[in-house]
Amino acid sequence: MCGICGLVSFAGDEPPERHILDAMNEALGHRGPDSAGSLIDGPAGIAMRRLSIIDLPGGDQPISNEDGRIHVVQNGEIYNYRELRRELERRGHKLRTRSDTEVLVHLYEEHGPSFVERLRGMFALALWDSRGGRLMLARDRFGIKPMYHSSVGGSLAFASELKSLVRQPAFSREVDLDALEAFLANNWIPAPLTIFRDARKLPAGHVLIWEGGDVRIERYARPAPPAKEGLDRRSESELEAELLARMRDSVRAHLVADVPVGVLLSGGLDSSALAALAAMESGERLATFSIGFENRRFNELEQARLVADRYGTDHHELVVSPDAAELLPELAEVFDEPFADSSALPTYLVSKLAAEHVKVAFSGEGGDELFGGYNTYQATLLAPWIGPLAAGLRPVVERLPSSSSRRLDDRIKRFARAARLPALERHHAWSQVLSEAARHELLQPQARGAADPVDAFRTRYAETAGAEPLTRLRDVDLGMFLVEDPLVKTDRASMAHSLETRVPMLDNGLVDFALAIPSAMSVTPFAKKRLLRRAVAPLLPREIVAGRKRGFSIPAAAWLREDLQPMMRDLLSTENVRRQGYFRPEAVGALIERHVSGREDLSRQLWGLLTFSLWLERWTSP
């Protein structure tokens, strides 16, 4: 696990300036505190910071091929590197280290840029081929590891985080208004946009090729559901057995490391299943890490302990109070573009706890998208039956008071508002944060974007025409929400503490299998994750298998009405909002009063505004 960065001159005849490359690399020190490396070769410079996981003494980067003309830096892990290494050695390649990174330069010699199709793992990599004058950037097929790029000051630059790109002297910190509009709609920003006009994300499953000053971006992998479900003729018991076998194989592959591996254990089904399998496969006592809250509804420590006790793990816990919100300015530093998933706070804290004991930890991201864990999937199935009734009762539903500790009222309101929309628009409306009308009311005229944030969802949805309707929506979440919210949250929160997080649910074979499962085997109007629950039932306590969805979520609505209200009113005061210039102060004030009064749960909207305000103060001034 590392942070990587670099530059290549569009002119092709001048080397990058060493002090700029060093400054970019320095900004990534938290991602790799164990060592640093860099190389300037002709018009290109690549650099990295290393967190040593595999081949501790020999895996420093950049790593080159035999003749020293192909060089690579990588952020991530390649889980099938041993098989690839044996194949390369049979073909005559001489490898000098035991690291997973070294196989990349030799695979490139054999297959060219298409070598990334052979990789099983999570990665963002940069490869410089001095013979061909080619720079190649690549990101894994699921978007687990980040990759940003920009073209300013006569160079193409890339980095694992935006905080590295902004070290370029010519980089503008001007806000991209389309990205701001998308952030307000989602509380996250979809690729290829970033909050900065001068930077873009490389989408998941894509490569960027710079050659002779020309740049092209191409998709090389697209995990997708089959046009017709491929497993509907097999019995559920057969599918359960295969699912468990694929999960076990993924966990076994993800345990490959020369350092101890732990599990971030939320008490939910996904992380509990991973903890069970890791405890069984590792051969050593497993370390697990959990977080809880003073608010009992959000305190999942008891459920996590059931799994820890069953498998005798070395279990560690942390209880969080509202005082932890004092860390919000710190999170604005960690997430160097606006990111408003409030569970980033507990994820940051549990990662800090884990980093005191291990260098690698499993996390359960991907299970909800692959196996049907979201309430919106059930709502999709219910909409044709009760949608007309719910829409007719909307005037009554809108008058329901909002509770500080339960979100059922909020879900009922969102269901009634969206019940009669077409499938994709309905699905998006159930999860969106601010509607088009609400954004129009909130944004100053000069701060409005030109693009419709829903268009990115429509593009993804159109690619799966012919697949099951619910499977198509799960695919949208897999390619959009998962990439830009849970995976971003986990990567930044963990790497801020130099902790590598691995996501075994997002293994090539496991994902392909999950996408081919008929939706009815995963989701019904009154049950979620059916197949997954049955597959892992023998491994887990009944309370976990039958329990509700859990994750590292916080009581944000209650905190913003109580302990955090003074902080919210200060950060979103009329004076601050007017000075920053993006939002209408009276609209922000109205959101605050509607939430604090209990008329609505607007915690997601207000958390987004808090996040943006803190980010703006931290990152838009040099």
Name the residues annotated as catalytic. Answer: 5
Whats the size of the chain, residue-wise? 622
From the DSSP assignment, how many helices (H) and strands (E) are in the chain? 28, 17
Q: How far is 37 from 408, CA to CA, in rounded Å?
A: 52
Amino acid identity of 431?
S
Contacts of 141 (CB under 8 A, 6+ apart): 204, 205, 220, 221, 222, 223, 508
- DSSP annotation of 100 reads S
CA 162 – CA 618 distance, rounded (Å): 13
Task: Please enumerate, as own/partner, the contacts of 278-286 that have beta carbons within 8 Å and a separation of 24 or more.
Answer: 278/251, 278/362, 279/311, 279/312, 279/313, 280/311, 280/539, 281/248, 281/251, 281/252, 281/255, 282/255, 284/260, 285/312, 285/313, 285/314, 286/261, 286/262, 286/311, 286/313, 286/314
Q: Give, in order, the Cα–Cα distances in Å from 153 to each of 145, 172, 515, 593.
A: 26, 10, 43, 46
Within a 10 A sphere around the Cβ of 94, how many other Cβ atoms?
Answer: 9
Cβ atoms of residues 531 and 370 within 8 Å: no
Residue 318 tokens read as 């942390």
Give 294's DSSP letter: S
For the record, the structure tokens of 344 come out as 């980033």
> Distances from the Cα of 300 to the Cαs of 174, 304, 494, 544, 554, in angstroms?
41, 6, 20, 11, 11
Helix (H, G, I), strand (E, B) or coil at 361: strand
CB-count exposure of residue 220 (10 Å: 0-12, 13-18, 19+): middle
Token pair of 399, please?
Answer: 């008058």
Contact 531, 516 (CB under 8 A): no
The radius of gyration of the chain's CA atoms, rounded to the nearest angstrom, is 24
Q: Which residues contact 112 (CB under 8 A, 6 or more apart)?
A: none
By CB neighbour count within 10 A (0-12 exposed, 13-18 middle, 19+ buried), where does 23 fall? Answer: middle
Question: Please, is 136 exposed, middle or buried when counting C-beta atoms within 10 Å of its C-beta (0-12, 13-18, 19+)?
Answer: buried
SS3 state of residue 472: helix
Strands 134-139 and 148-152: unpaired
Are 16 and 43 within 8 A, CB to CB?
A: yes
Long-range CB contacts (within 8 A, 24+) of 191-195:
191/143, 191/483, 191/484, 194/148, 194/162, 194/337, 195/162, 195/337, 195/338, 195/615
CA-to-CA separations, 211 to 43, 153, 357, 571, 582, in angstroms, rounded: 11, 18, 44, 47, 39
